[in-house]
Amino acid sequence: MFLQIFIGCAAIAGLCAGPLAGELRAAVQEAQPPTAGEPVRQAPADATCEGCVTIPALTLVRLEILAPLGSKVSKSGDTFPIRLAEPILVGGREIIPAGVTGMGEVVHAKKNGGGGGAGELVLAARYLDIGARRLRLRSLRLTEVGESRINTVNAMNLASAASPLPVALIGFLIKGGEVTVPAGRVAEAKTAEAFVLPLPTPVAVAPPVPAAGNAPENTSSVEGNANEVP
């Protein structure tokens, strides 16, 4: 009798152990903070979050570039600091304040060259650090090309055909313009994804002092979740 009950219990425990262990493992993994090398995991967007606000994907943001960049000084793959120049507003309400920092990347940098070749610089905005999370960015409108003098050199070459002197060789010494992006330059980018976060705490308004002693306790004028922006 006891043996049958024991076997039954053991079987149930065996069946339950697998899924339970899986859930436990997942819970432990979620609880562990990301290590230094790991990218910060994006919190899943909670569509049912009450008192949360969503910054829609492709929202325009104005960014300030904090380091001087240029086709001469920058290299492809370099990163550079950026800062939110203007707050992100949703429904007229400031959700992310100006000053939040992040990172951009030099996608392509090429020095100017002989023959009138101009310097080139292609930049990308990568993310803004919002607390422990990252708001991914895209579509930085800052691709610059220096003044090209290829046409000038080509015109010289044509003219030199009529000249007994090798004037065309001078063309090798003529370089195009470089591109310089000074620190503090402001450019537009877009958010790459919808970003859900708790509403920022509104400015607390002192409640009126009740005249009688029957005022309910724990009265709050703030509705919804009043968590701070992480």
Partner 1 sequence: MKFRKPAIAVITLATLAAPQFAAAQAKEKAKSEPIAIPAPPPGKGQIVFFRPGGMGFAVGCSVNEKGQKVSSLGAGKYFIMVAEPGRHEFSVKSEAKDVLALEVEADETQYASCKIKMGIMVGRPDIRPATEVEFRGTKNLKMVDVDDMGPGEGALRPEQVAAALAGPAPVAEAPAPENPQP
Closer residue to partner 1 (CB): 17 or 227: 227
In the complex, the smallest distance separating the C-beta of residue 217 from partner 1, rounded to whole angstroms, is 29
Closer residue to partner 1 (CB): 26 or 128: 128
In the complex, the smallest distance separating the C-beta of residue 215 from partner 1, rounded to whole angstroms, is 31
Closer residue to partner 1 (CB): 17 or 60: 60
Closer residue to partner 1 (CB): 23 or 223: 223
Please give the torsion angle defined by the CA atoms of residues 15, 17, 19 and 20, in that order, rounded to the nearest 10 degrees. Answer: 140
In the complex, the smallest distance separating the C-beta of residue 220 from partner 1, rounded to whole angstroms, is 19
In the complex, the smallest distance separating the C-beta of residue 28 from partner 1, rounded to whole angstroms, is 33
Binding site for partner 1 (CB under 8 A): 52-54, 56, 58-60, 76, 89-93, 107-108, 110, 114-118, 120, 122, 124, 138-139, 143, 145, 148, 150-151, 153-154, 157-158, 168, 171-172, 190-191, 199
Closer residue to partner 1 (CB): 35 or 65: 65
